[in-house]
Structure 1
């Protein structure tokens, strides 16, 4: 079993954490529509700084064992999962069957990215 410090596992955990920050940076302001746009832009940039502090090392470490395309695919799948949870829990928006189908097609694409991967 791979440890949390494994180059296979730690990038996934770092990307998960970075995507939580980025989702709040990109979509959190939707809960504060009365706030001035300039303020939410600055706040979003501040939150995104933490995202970069996690994503850059995730990709650096992960590139030891994953290709850049695989890292991007991992990041996109994590982004969809984090966004789906955020959308329902924070924004109180319902995910519908067409969202599920679209997400499933993206997951199918991720499946194909990892096919033929050298063991």
Structure 2
């Protein structure tokens, strides 16, 4: 099951997406798993910095994937 969540940074994934797109995708997946884990399981407070970082990543996704 965890294989489905991995970034397709192999020959197949690299044929579909370029290196920059794969890296941004990796960061989005990592933070979308880590932030809820840190807040819900580890009891860390949700800081505005997490929100700002998420907004920056949304901007990065927009710019890296636009045509």
Q: TM-score with structure 2 length normalisation?
A: 0.77
Task: After superposition, give the CA deviation of every residue in 1:9-51 in whole Å (9 maximum; x if it has no partner).
Answer: xx8x332xxxxxxxxxxxxxxxxxxxxxxxxxxxxxxxxxxxx
Equivalent residue number for residue 50 of structure 2 = 99
Q: Alpha carbon RMSD of aligned pairs, Å?
A: 1.8
Unaligned runs of 5+ in 1: 1-10, 16-54
Task: After superposition, give the CA deviation of every residue in 1:49-105 in whole Å (9 maximum; x if it has no partner).
Answer: xxxxxx6xx311311211111111100111111111110122111212232012211
Correspondent of 2:9 among 59, 63, 70: 59
Higher relative contact order structure (alpha carbons within 8 Å, sequence separation ≥ 6): 2
Cα distance change, pair 14–98 in 1 and its aligned pair in 2 (3 A): closer
Q: TM-score with structure 1 length normalisation?
A: 0.47
User: Residues 28-107 of structure 1: matches in 2 within 5 Å?
Assistant: 58-60=8-10, 61-107=12-58
Runs (4+) of structure 1 exceeding 6 A deviation are: none
Unaligned runs of 5+ in 2: none
